[in-house]
Structure 1
């Protein structure tokens, strides 16, 4: 009986010791020196797609009249866009509003409804950049009177982003090796790696009044789009 109790006590002590050793090992691993560095990778590419946002704003004495006129003019704009080669999948309504126009000029009197305004915005993807200027001209000529901007991008940015990731990791490794060498230590294995970014850098948006656009051919240059990725890497440090 006494031998059994001794055996159980020994087993308990061994188990507790194993847990303690595991905790100490984990603490030692955590306490190892580390270095964390962020590298940026950037890739410039010629865009193959443009996104324009334009629309129609109309006014009327009643909400129904404003909306009916808006629908008529927007239908003409959409018809011209399709005739110019824009596919239906590249046309999307991105904003629709209808509300009263108020007169706040009467002092001491509550505001008065003087009419209604309807607004409808459409986002258009243009995959043939050579046709972009003509598409803008046609859209404005057929009733689009609001222009909310133009941006460029890639239909498939996978290759550009992958190249930026590789560049970012190499840059982080270069910086880490330089810093470790200056400190008289060596880089060990990678412990952690995280990524941020990936969206194209903001491009200057082409903005111009609708009347001016209708009066002349719209010159548009795509230039280049930049995709940037930041990669943060943590290495373990070791004495060389």
Structure 2
């Protein structure tokens, strides 16, 4: 008759088990930055408001696109055009129309970012938000942090074993903290070298304001693992034994 092996979560005298946690905290430069651009238009006539919004949206997109490879991603988000009603009087009367388009741009060249941010903010009825600094999901920094956390767990377990005058025998388990509900990594990665370049081919805009001096925000990467090892049985002696 085949017997099922007994689960021993706390080990046995012949195979004592040690459980540790490994942690790693890294501080690195960001690799990308995102900015939010909101283009607006307002007019008493719906078609005129829409035409103004279309023109301003095209101007903002054209400006961003002149930065070429410095812009890694350019996306149009929400679009809206809505009537503004009068507050007083009988009946509902439309006072004006408001239109908005939201654009998101992602850049890896932070020198270009400061210049682009200033030029966008100089456009009519255009609001710029950000930058939001981040790491890429596939950044090697995340791997570095995980590996460092594992090495720290092994070192901690080894120190416990050495305190008992023995050593580690085998790895039993290695797991991320909250492995069943691990959040996705945000954008990010280690910053590459910044480059400075002149961008030609831009449409005729008003005289540019000085580029905004932006200081990239350092990114914090944190990794945790739980690890369990078995140890070679230590020879424990009572204090006072000779």
Are the counterparts in 1 of residues 134 and 219 from structure 2 also a CA contact under 8 Å? Answer: yes
Q: For 2:175 and 2:106, how far apart are their aligned partners in 1?
A: 32
Residues 112 and 34 of structure 1, relative CA distance in 2, 3 Å threshold: farther
Does residue 81 (structure 1) correspond to residue 81 (structure 2)? The answer is: no
Structure 1 CA distance for aligned equivalents of residues 28 and 88 of structure 2: 56
Question: 2:24 — aligned with what?
Answer: 41
Q: CA deviation at 1:57?
A: 2.2
Q: CA–CA distance in 2 between the matches of 1:224 and 1:88?
A: 21
> What SS is found at the alignment partner of 1:90?
strand
What are the superposed Cα offsets for residues 78-115 of structure 1, whole Å, 9 maximum, x if unpaired?
A: 11122233567621113323333355x559x8986543
1:95 matched to which residue of 2? 78
Structure 1 residue 192: Cα displacement = 2.6
Question: Higher mean Cα deviation, 48-57 or 185-194?
Answer: 185-194
| Bigger Cα Rg | 1
Q: What's the CA shift string for 1:48-83, capped at 9, x where partnerless?
A: 432211121222335444332222111111111222
Whether contact under 8 Å (1:184, 1:239) holds in the other structure is: no
TM-score, normalising length from structure 1?
0.66
Secondary structure of the structure 1 residue equivalent to 2:149: helix
User: What's the RMSD between the two structures over aligned residues?
Assistant: 3.6
Change in CA separation of 1:176 and 1:144 when aligned onto 2, cut-off 3 Å: farther
Contact conserved, 1:46 with 1:223, CA < 8 A, in 2? yes
1:234 to 1:99, Cα distance in 2 relative to 1, 3 A: farther
Q: Which moved more, 1:81-90 or 1:146-155?
A: 81-90
- Could you say which residue in structure 2 is the equivalent of 1:132? 113
Q: Tell me how far 1:220 sits from its aligned partner.
A: 0.5
| Deviations, residues 210-240 of structure 1 (Å, cap 9, x unaligned) | xxxx865411012533322222323346632
Task: Kindly indicate which of the two structures has a greater share of residues assigned to helix.
Answer: 1
The equivalent residue for 2:216 is 222
Q: Is the 8 A contact 1:200 1:228 kept in 2?
A: no
CA–CA distance in structure 1, aligned partners of residues 38 and 213 of structure 2: 20
User: For structure 2, which runs of at least 5 residues remain unmatched after alignment?
Assistant: 177-181, 189-207, 235-242
Cα offset, 1:162, TM superposition: 1.8
